[in-house]
Amino acid sequence: MVESASDFDKRFKRSPLVVCSELDGQIALFQSSTCDYLVLNETGSAIWDSLHSPKTLEQICEKLLAEYEVTPEQCRMSVEEWLSNAIAKEIIA
């Protein structure tokens, strides 16, 4: 979660240890150092796709708000939760 002014500018990026593949329209990830295998849902896939280059939380939310019918607050909360889980699973940094 963004908690301070310095966190506002934090950029998130894909971990270089993650192998990504599309399977039946969904993105599947394999994190080689933890041996975690994840299949992302539509929203997770959209977040992952947006991280083709480092992005801030705000930039990720802007992209999702343009694609989905969701309030800015709901979007931010969902993205923060996804990012927190992704950092814990070491698929993003």
Chunked into runs of 10 residues, the chain (93 residues) has average pLDDT values of 56 95 89 93 93 96 95 96 95 94
pLDDT computed for residue 26 by the predictor: 85
Q: What's the predicted TM-score (pTM) here?
A: 0.85
pLDDT computed for residue 88 by the predictor: 94
Region at 73 (left for phi over 0; alpha for psi -120 to 50; beta for the rest): alpha
